[in-house]
Structure 1
Amino acid sequence: MRLIPLTFSGLLLPLLLSPVATKAGGAAPKYAVADLPAALRENAHAVVRRQDELLTVKSVSRTVETVHRATTILDEAGSRWAAELVYYSQLNHINYFRGAVYDANGRQLRQLRGQDIRDISLSDGFSLATDARGRVADLSQPTYPYTVEFEYEVVSDNPLFYSTWQPQPVEQLSVEQATFRVMMPAGMALRYQESHLPAGTTPAALGAGAYAWEVHNLAAREEEPDGPSVAELTPAVFTAPAQFEVEGHAGQLNSWADLSRWTYELNAGRAELPPALVAGMQALVLGETDERARIRKVYKFLQANTRYISVQLGLGGWQTFPAASVATNGYGDCKALTNYCQALLGAAGIRSHAALVRAGSDEQDIRTDFPSSQFNHVVLCVPLTQAARADTVWLECTSQTNPFGYMGGFTGNRHALLLLPEGGRLIATPRYGAAENRRERQADVFLDAGGNATATLRTLRTGLEYDAVAGLPGLELSEQKKYISNRLALPNFTLTKVAFQPLPATAAVPGLRETLALTLPALAPPSGKRVFLTPNLLSRLPTPAATVGERQSEVWLDHAFTQLDTVRLHLPASLQPEQLPAPVRLSTPFGTYSSQLLALPDGTIRYVRRLEMPRTRFPRTDYPAYLEFRRKVATADKMQLVLLKTDA
C-alpha cells in the first residue's frame, strides 16, 4: 500500500489551503500592522487581512475562479503564508498570478516578478487525476512582521469541482475580513452546503444567480487534545454543480447515483481482454471451489504482473485506459489497474465493481450528506456470493505488496461510491476497530543484582497497528535497527537481534510478528537496600494536556486499538519483592484498562496490562471525565515495583 500524503491535484481543485493574491500597485501604505485589532493578534502566527474569492460559472463546461488575499505574517511560525501555490492542469489554466510584499508600516517592499515563480509537478502517486502542476511563489522576508498579497485567476474546463470557501483552515490563523461570491448563469442552479458560519450569516441577495458570504474578525483558534482539526470547526461553504460537462461528456450531480452513473458510463466498454489472457484466467481458477481463494489467485496475478504509473491527462483523470492496454504494457494508473483487475475477475467468472474513495492516511471521510466530487482514488469492491452472510472483498489494485483484502488506514473506515450502470450508492469500506487494531507484546526481562538486564520482546501488530511497520521486513538490517531504536521508549539499550515474521495470508487482518533481543544496562540501579523497577517498559500512555479555560470542541477518539502486554521478570535470588502494588481496573465509556503484578511459584514476577480504546466521539462536556480516565491510566502505567536486596 502506498502510504503517500494526500496532495491536492487537479481532482480536488480548488480546495485552497494557502494565502491568496492581489495586484501590487500604488505607493500609499496599506495593511499596516498597527491597524490590526489586538484580539486578532492573540494566539496568532498570521492574520488574513483581506480575502476575496469569486467563482464565476460561465457554463456547464467552464468556471473561472478569482482569488485575492493579503496576509500579515507575525512571526517565523506563520511564514508558510508567505508562499502561494496555484494549481493548473490540462483542464485548468492560470490567467494571471501577481503579488507584492509590504513592511510592518504598510510600505511596499517589492512586487512579485516572473523569475520568482517556480513551476512544479504535483503528482501524488495514487490519485485519479495526477497531471496537475503548480506555480509557486515565495515572498518571505527576514524581518517580522510583514504582509504578503497575492492575486490569481484560474479558468477551468473541469466544472466537476466548484470552489470550497474556508478562510480559516488551520489553527493560530485569524481573519480580519473574508468574502466569497458565486455568479451563476441563467438557468443553472448552485448547490451549496454551509458549515459553522457565524450566527446570522446567510447568502446575501445579489440578484438572480448571485450569492455572497462574508465573515469578519475571526479570532485565532488552537486545536485541542483529542479533538477535531480547526478546519472541521471554522466557517466554510462547499459548492457543487447540479449539471456539468467535461470535454463533451455531460452529467448531472444532484445525487450520488448521478455521479456514479456518469463515471461508470465514461469508463464503460474498456474491459475487453486478449483471448489468451481470458483463457489463462479461466485456467488459473479451474477446480478451485472457494470463492475467496479464486479472487486471491487473480489478485496475486495482478500484483505479480503490473505496476502503478501515473499517465493521466485531461479527461484521462477520469477515463481509464482499456484493459487490453494494461495487459500489453503491464502498467496503469489507479483507474486502469482497477479496471484491469475487474476484467481479470470477470474472465474468471467473478463479478466486481469499481468504487471511488478518498484516500489518504490522514484524511477524514467524505461529507456523505453533500453529493459532490470528493474522491481522489479508485479501488475494487468484490461482493461474495457464496458467503453465509453478506460479505465483500476490497482490493487495492495499485500496490504489488498490499495484503489481500486489506484497506488499512489508507482507504479503510470511510465511504466509497460504487460505480454501477444504474447509478451506485455509498458503501462503507472495511472498518478497523479495537478488535482488529491490536498490539500484543510478550517480554522476558532478566535482571542481575547490579540492576542491569537483558530482554527478549515478541510483539504482534495487526490491522492499523500493522500499517506503521508493514515495510520493515523489506529494509536493510541497519535501517530496521534505526527505525526500531527511534521508537523504543527506553533510556539506554542495545539491539542484539531483530527478526520479523508476517501472519499467514489467510489471517482475518494482516499482522507482523517482531522479535527483538536487547541489553539494558542500568535498567534498575540499586538505591541502598532497594531496587526500583517500572514493569511497564514500553506501553506508557501519556496524559493529554488539560484544556486552558472551557473546552470548545468535542472529544474525537478516531483510532481504536487494543494493547496487551505480558512482562515476565526473572530476578536474581538476592532480590525479592517488598510488596506488590494493588491491581488496577478501570471501565469507562472512553476505554477499559487493567494492570496487575503476580508473584509466580517459579520465583518470577508477571506483569499483565490491557488497554482498549474505542473509535467514537463524545460531547465537549465529557472531556474532564476523559482526562481523568487518561490520568489514572498514566499513573497506573508508571507504577513501580520495589525489590529488596536480601544479601545487603
Structure 2
Amino acid sequence: MSLFFSKLQRVVLVAGVAFPSFALAGAGTPQYPVAALPSSLRENAHAVVRRQDESLAVKSVGRTVETTRRAVTVLDEAGSQWATEVVYYDKLNTITYFRGTVYDEAGRVVRQLRTADIHDISLSDGFSLATDARGRTADLRQPSYPYTVEFEYEVVSDNPLFYSTWRPQPAEQLAVEEATFRVLTPTSLPLRFQERHLPSDGALVRSKQGALDVFQWQVRNLAAIEDEADSPPVSELAPMVLTAPTEFEVEGYHGRLSSWQDLSKWTYDLNAGRDVLPPAIQAQMAALGRGEKDERARIRKVYEYLQANTRYISIQLGIGGWQTFPASSVAANGYGDCKALTNYCKALLQAAGVTSYAALVRAGSTAQDIRTDFPSSQFNHVVLCVPLTSTRPDTVWLECTDQTNPFGYMSSFTGNRHALLLLPQGGRLVATPRYGAAENRRERRADVHFDLQGNATASIRTRHTGLEFDAIAGLTGLAPSEQKKRLGDRLPLPSFTITKFSLTPDESGAVPVLTENLTLAVPALAPPNGKRVFITPNLLCRTSAPRATVGERRTDIWLSHAYTYTDTVRLHIPAGFRPEQLPAPVKLATPFGDYLSQVQVMPDGNILYIRRLLMPNTRFSRTDYPAYLDFRRRVSAADKAQVVLVKTEA
C-alpha cells in the first residue's frame, strides 16, 4: 500500500539532549549488576530497562536535537531483541553519534561497540522508486544470559513536524527500573503535550533554564506488563507522553499545529495547484462525465480507469514525503505514491464533474486509530473522500494505490478509523467506513455424506464478506495450485483431499464478497466404534476458550474485531444407522457476544446442524473476565458436542 510520510515518524527513535554527558564506563567500574535488580522487576519479564534518559531539545522552528541513552538487562533469549538497535536517518535527519557497550552479569564491560560493528543499511521497502531513508544498526546480543546492553545516540532533525513520543515501556514483559524524558524549548515555541497512563509518581516537573522552558517526566520501578488473553495493546496500558509543536518549518514551508484545521491547511497548501491534467486526459474524463448520468457509476468508471492505467511506487525524498508529484507527471509516467495517485484521481474526478477531497489517515491492518484529542502528525497514508451530491447523502471512499481493490472498500487497512480531510480553509476529522459484525461475515453451508466405514465427502460453500473478505481475497491472484494449497492450509481437518474448488468474487455491493466452493474427500472422519458412530457436526469452526488468568486479572477485555459466523451443516448418515443421541441446543446472549447451536433430525432421516456466533467490537472491565471466560468456555464446549449414531438392528 502506501507510506505517505517519511519513515522517520520514528516509533523506535526516541529522544534526549540536555542530560549530563555520560562517558561509557571503563572496565574497572561495574555498571548495572544484575544482582541489584529487585525481584519484583524480574517477574514476568524477559528484559529490564535499567536506565533510559531521553531528551528533545527544540533549537528553532526548523530544528530539533534528540538524544537517547538506554541500558537494558536481557534476562533470557526472548528478551534478546533489546540487545539490537536501529537508528534511522535521511536527508532531514543526521546521526551525530552512535555508541554501545555490553556488560556481563556482574556489571563488568565485555565489549564496546566499534565502528566496524555498525552497519549502514538502506530502508527501501522494495516498492519505492526513490527513498533516502536509511538506518545504522548494531547487534550486541550475547550467547549467555543475563547481560546488559547500553546504547547512546543523537539525531539532529530538520523535520520538526514530528516531536518525540515517550514510551518508556513499549512492550509486554519488559520492566523498567528508571526512565526519564526531558524537553527543552524556547518560550516563544510552546510545547504541546498529552500524558497517558502515568503513575502517580510520574508527574510533570516544569522549570526554566535561561530562555528555555524545561519539561521533565520520570517513572521508576514499573513491573512488566503480563501478556493476558484478549487484552488491550500496550499503548493503551503503559505510560506515554505525546509531544507536538505549535509552530514548525520543513524545508522552508512554515506551518502551525494547534488544531487539526492547522495541519489540514498546511498539507493542502503544500499540494495546491498540482492537480492540472494534460488536455487529452481532461477531455477524456469530461466525455465520460457527460456520458454517465449516475454519479456513483461515474465515480466507479474513473476509479477503474485509475486502476487500469497506474501503479503504486513510493517516493520518499525530503519534502517529497508530504508534497505530491503533479498530476501531469502521473499521467505521463503511469505511477506515483499514495499522495500522487490520490491527487491524480481527484483531478480525474474533477474533470468528470465530481468533487472530491484528499484525506490523511493512519493506515495498517493492525494500526490503532489516531489520538483524535491531540492534533499532531499521526498519519502515514492518503485516501480520497468523494461526497455524493446527486443521491441521498452518502460518501464514496477510494483507495488509490491498489490496482485490485474493490470500488469503495477501505478494508482493514484504512477502515474503522478517523481521517483528516484536506480543505483550502483547513479540514476536520471524519470517520472512514465502519465494518462491524453486520458487514464482517463468514457464512458456510456444507453437505457431508458418510459411508459405512466413516469416510466422508463434503461439499462446502463459504461466503466471506467485509473484513472476512480481506483474509482470503489475496488468493484470487495466485496460480490454481497455490490457491488449492492455501485453501487446504486453512482447513482444521487431520486428513483430506480437495477434489474440486473455486473462488468467485463479487464486488457489486457496499462490501465485497468472495464465495469459496470446496469438494473434499475426508477419510476416517467418523469411523465406527463398535455399533456406534460419533460425529462432531461442527467440522470447521470450533473455537477454544482463552486461558484462565493466574491470580488477579490486570487488564481490561479488548475485543477489537467484530464478526458474525454462521454454519449450516447437513449430515447425510449412512443406511443402517439412526441417531441415538443429539446435543442439547445452546443459546447464549451476553454483552461479550451471542451464540446459538442446535441439532435436529430432518424428515428424511438426515441431521441438520446450525451454529451462529456474533462477536462485537467492544471493551469491558477486567472484573468481567470471569464472566467472559465462562461465555467462551460454554461456546467451546458446545462446538465440541457430538452426535451419536447407533447401528439399527437387522
With normalisation by structure 1, the TM-score equals 0.96
Q: Secondary structure at the match of 1:539?
A: coil
Which residue, 610, 616, 619 being the options, matches 2:621? 619
Q: 1:555 to 1:564 in 2, by over 3 A?
A: same
Which residue, 272, 278, 281 being the options, matches 1:277? 281
The one-letter code of the counterpart of 1:427 is V
The one-letter code of the counterpart of 1:509 is V
1:429 corresponds to 2:439: no
Give CA deviations for 1:445-475 in whole Å, capped at 9, x if unaligned: 0101111111111111011001011111211
Q: Secondary structure at the match of 1:532?
A: strand
- What residue in structure 2 maps to residue 470 of structure 1? 473
1:10 corresponds to 2:14: no
Which residue, 217, 222, 225 being the options, matches 1:218? 222
1:142 corresponds to 2:120: no
Give CA deviations for 1:564-592 in whole Å, capped at 9, x if unaligned: 10101111111110032221111111111
Give CA deviations for 1:339-395 in whole Å, capped at 9, x if unaligned: 00000000001000000000000111000000000000000000011222x211000
1:534 corresponds to 2:536: yes
State whether residues 127 and 377 of structure 1, in contact with CA within 8 Å, keep that contact through their aligned partners in structure 2: no
1:24 corresponds to 2:24: yes
The one-letter code of the counterpart of 1:93 is T
Identity %: 69
Q: Secondary structure at the match of 1:220?
A: coil
- What residue in structure 2 maps to residue 304 of structure 1? 308
Which residue, 591, 594, 613 being the options, matches 1:592? 594
Shift of 1:23: 5.5
- What residue in structure 2 maps to residue 178 of structure 1? 179
Aligned mates of 1:239, 1:123 — CA distance in 2: 28
The one-letter code of the counterpart of 2:588 is L
- What residue in structure 2 maps to residue 34 of structure 1? 35
Gaps of 5+ in 1: none
- What residue in structure 1 maps to residue 290 of structure 2? 286
Shift of 1:18: 12
- What residue in structure 2 maps to residue 57 of structure 1? 58
State whether residues 587 and 593 of structure 1, in contact with CA within 8 Å, keep that contact through their aligned partners in structure 2: yes
The one-letter code of the counterpart of 1:282 is A
Q: 1:482 to 1:9 in 2, by over 3 A?
A: farther
State whether residues 568 and 604 of structure 1, in contact with CA within 8 Å, keep that contact through their aligned partners in structure 2: yes
Q: Secondary structure at the match of 1:465?
A: helix
- What residue in structure 2 maps to residue 158 of structure 1? 159
- What residue in structure 2 maps to residue 520 of structure 1? 522
Shift of 1:229: 1.6
Q: Secondary structure at the match of 1:72?
A: strand
The one-letter code of the counterpart of 2:41 is L
Shift of 1:105: 1.3
Shift of 1:15: 4.5
- What residue in structure 2 maps to residue 560 of structure 1? 562
Shift of 1:628: 1.2
Residues 26-425 of structure 1 correspond to what in structure 2 (within 5 A)?
26-27=26-27, 28-124=29-125, 131-207=132-208, 208-388=212-392, 390-425=393-428
Aligned mates of 1:381, 1:128 — CA distance in 2: 26
The one-letter code of the counterpart of 2:101 is A
State whether residues 19 and 150 of structure 1, in contact with CA within 8 Å, keep that contact through their aligned partners in structure 2: no
Aligned mates of 1:150, 1:109 — CA distance in 2: 14
The one-letter code of the counterpart of 2:442 is R
Aligned mates of 2:70, 2:207 — CA distance in 1: 22
Shift of 1:25: 4.0
Q: 1:8 to 1:535 in 2, by over 3 A?
A: farther
Q: 1:183 to 1:17 in 2, by over 3 A?
A: closer
Gaps of 5+ in 2: none
Shift of 1:563: 0.5
Give CA deviations for 1:479-515 in whole Å, capped at 9, x if unaligned: 2222222221111111112211111x32120111111
Aligned mates of 2:242, 2:126 — CA distance in 1: 26
Q: Secondary structure at the match of 1:206?
A: strand
State whether residues 10 and 129 of structure 1, in contact with CA within 8 Å, keep that contact through their aligned partners in structure 2: no
Aligned mates of 2:316, 2:477 — CA distance in 1: 30
Shift of 1:478: 2.5
Q: What is the root-mean-square deviation of aligned Cα atoms in Å? A: 2.0
Q: Which has the higher mean CA deviation after the structures are superposed, 484-493 or 116-125?
A: 116-125
State whether residues 15 and 55 of structure 2, in contact with CA within 8 Å, keep that contact through their aligned partners in structure 1: no
State whether residues 15 and 56 of structure 2, in contact with CA within 8 Å, keep that contact through their aligned partners in structure 1: no
Aligned mates of 2:589, 2:11 — CA distance in 1: 46
Give CA deviations for 1:76-109 in whole Å, capped at 9, x if unaligned: 0001111001011111111111111111111111
Give the length in aligned residue pairs.
643
The one-letter code of the counterpart of 1:557 is L
Aligned mates of 1:298, 1:112 — CA distance in 2: 55
State whether residues 16 and 57 of structure 2, in contact with CA within 8 Å, keep that contact through their aligned partners in structure 1: no
Aligned mates of 2:641, 2:365 — CA distance in 1: 34
